[in-house]
Amino acid sequence: MELLNPKNAPKAVGPYSIAVKSNGFIFISGQLPIIPETGEFIKGDIKKATEVILNNIKNILEESGSSIDKIVKVNAYLTDLSKFSEFNEVYGKIFGEHKPARAAIQVAALPKDADIEIEAIAEA
């Protein structure tokens, strides 16, 4: 198992790795909507939050020698599933024709009171 510490992604907010490479896959921990360059935390705008998170995941993968087109599974956690269509609109634009397996789940709360958190698994 190789622990990945990408420079162009938010730092972990706890005792875990941002991403791990193992057995030909990259496992990306749940990402919150944080802009790495500024540390700005996006709250109250599910479209912007989704875009920021997916761009962070893209950066993590590219820095690790993979790409967003190699994602095989995504889990999205939203605190308000009534925002699903807004999330899905941005998600669809970013992924285009690539359609990894996905779950979208409503949860009671997320770290830092985030509106959304997304994790992914990709081929290395």
Q: What is the pLDDT of residues 49-86, one digit of tens each?
A: 999 999 999 999 999 999 999 999 999 999 999 999 99
Taking 80 as the threshold, does the pLDDT of residue 118 lie above it? Answer: yes
Q: Identify whether the C-beta of residue 31 lies closer than 8 Å to the C-beta of residue 55.
A: no
Would you state the pLDDT for residue 103? Answer: 98
Taking 90 as the threshold, does the pLDDT of residue 16 lie above it? Answer: yes
Confidence grade of residue 97 (pLDDT, cut at 50, 70, 90): very high
In the structure encoding, which two tokens stand for residue 110, read together? Answer: 């997320």
Single pTM value for the model: 0.96
Average pLDDT score, the chain:
96
Would you state the pLDDT for residue 22? Answer: 98
Please name the residue that has the structure tokens 């989704």: 50
Taking 80 as the threshold, does the pLDDT of residue 13 lie above it? Answer: no
Which residues, including other chains, have CB under 8 Å from residue 122's CB and lie 6 or more apart?
25, 26, 28, 61, 66, 67, 68, 70, 71, 72
